[in-house]
Amino acid sequence: MRIRKEPDETLMIWSDSPAETEELGKILGGILQPGDLFFLSGDLGSGKTLFVRGVTLGLASTEAATSPTFALIHRYEGKLPLYHLDLYRLSSAAELIPLDLEELCQEEAAMMIEWGEPAKEVLASTYMEVVFTRGEEEEQRVLTFHPEGERYRQINHLLGVELEKTATGK
């Protein structure tokens, strides 16, 4: 794993394998607090669900995350409850209403949303956007953490500190 901090406080992380993507999620799981909101975007097979699986491991959830594509929304119980959503099949913001996302956002839980474009406007104005893209190697993925708001700049800072610790083996 290699990291780079951009001047605009964006954090770029190169993951060299699925195992590293999962590990990164696990580290993030240790940093999450109630109310944290993440949007995950990237093509099929770019590691979004695997990353969330890592987060559930980091939160010591009772179950490791599986694909939410079919059920749209999964909730995991752990040190902190986590909602994991996949909104790929929604075609408009109106279809979000029955999911009661705004109410879920008021809960003492964290939330990670894949294909979340329709939800962005109706939810909080501060969030983290994580973009998953391909790296140069077949298994490599680049995760770019774009923070919107103070809390998310803080997460990037904490994540940088944790990753440096891991890298130097402390």
Residues at the interface with other proteins (CB under 8 A) = 18, 43-45, 47, 49-50, 53, 64, 66-67, 69-74, 88-91, 94-95, 97-98, 134, 138-139
CA distance 83 to 101: 10
- Give the nearer residue to other proteins in terms of CB position, either 10 or 17: 17
- Work out how close the CB of 55 gets to other proteins at its nearest, in angstroms, rounded to a whole number: 14
- Give the nearer residue to other proteins in terms of CB position, either 39 or 76: 76
Q: Using CB atoms within 10 Å of the CB of residue 137, give its burial: 0 to 12 exposed, 13 to 18 middle, 19+ buried.
A: exposed
- Work out how close the CB of 93 gets to other proteins at its nearest, in angstroms, rounded to a whole number: 11
Give the DSSP H/E element, type plus range, for residue 52. helix 48-58
Q: What is the rounded (10 degree) CA torsion for 24, 30, 36, 42?
A: 10
- Work out how close the CB of 140 gets to other proteins at its nearest, in angstroms, rounded to a whole number: 11
